Structure 1
Amino acid sequence: MANLSAWEAALDDLEIRLDAAALSMAVGRSDSEAGSVGSGGVATGSTGEGGGVITPVEAAWTAPKGLGAIPAELAARVQDLLHNQQKLINELERARTLTLKHLTAVRSVPPERDARASVYLDVAG
């Protein structure tokens, strides 16, 4: 059963990290936009009750060692986690694309010119 409890702890950690990432994406959005993230099903509802030690989400993730094969009774949970991770990846890609569009628009605005500076126009050239 050590394999099962180790896998549960590892999945708890991944679910907490996924929830934290989804939450951090929603923080900067308006209430109507944040609601769309929740409706996307990204939140996993993880509570960390697996009995394992949960590392802080700020810490860099490292793959656990020595877990062995995924126990069959956790297969559905692993599939759910994978599905929710893919949803978050898609949300991140959409946010990245939108950010690049905004950045392009901001960069297209010419810098403010000093009104006291002279402006010359060469009409002959």
Structure 2
Amino acid sequence: MSTAPSPWRAAWEQALSDLEMDVAVAEAMLASHHGTHDSAPDGVHDGAPDGSRKQPWSPPQGIGLIPADLDVRARALLERQTRVCRELAAAARLSRRHDKAIAALDLGGPRAPVYVDTPA
């Protein structure tokens, strides 16, 4: 006989699973940005999980403190979130530098050709 998790534990497991999927999506975007082309996690296609949220994640209300045995999972998730946040910030800085470099190359519109090939 198996016992189902309590509603309190199930709510925390779902909250952690939702956050883990969000981090997996961000990790997949970073991997594709860096050209590593790691396969996306199950359920992640085109940078969004199946049935992705339209609204930002918000903590569930009224579920109380996290169960003690989920603490290790939550701490590992926090470490992943922190690492991904740093990597996203670095990617944004690099993108801004690239944008500035491209803008500096803009020569103010099309220029007349210097040489014209004509048939002999």
Stretches of 4+ aligned residues off by more than 3 angstroms: none
Within the alignment, does 1:83 sit opposite 2:104 as a pair?
no
1:3 aligned partner: 8
The reply to whether residue 104 of structure 1 matches residue 109 of structure 2 is no
Residue of structure 2 in register with 1:115 after alignment: 112
Equivalenced residues, count:
101
CA distance in 2 between counterparts of 1:79 and 1:111 reads 52
Q: Which runs of 5+ in 1 are unaligned?
A: 48-53, 117-125
CA distance in 1, matches of 2:103, 2:17: 42
Q: What residue ranges of structure 2 are gaps of 5+ in the alignment?
A: 1-5, 44-48, 114-120
Corresponding residue for 1:23? Answer: 28
> Greater relative contact order (Cα 8 A, min sep 6): structure 1 or 2?
1
TM-score normalised by the chain length of structure 2:
0.70
Root mean square deviation of aligned Cα: 3.0
Q: 1: CA distance between counterparts of 2:18 and 2:62? A: 16
Matched, 1:13 2:8: no
SS in 1 for 2:87: helix
For residue 17 of structure 1, report the CA deviation from its aligned partner: 1.2
Fraction of identical pairs, as percent:
30
Task: With the length of structure 1 as denominator, give the TM-score of the two structures.
Answer: 0.67
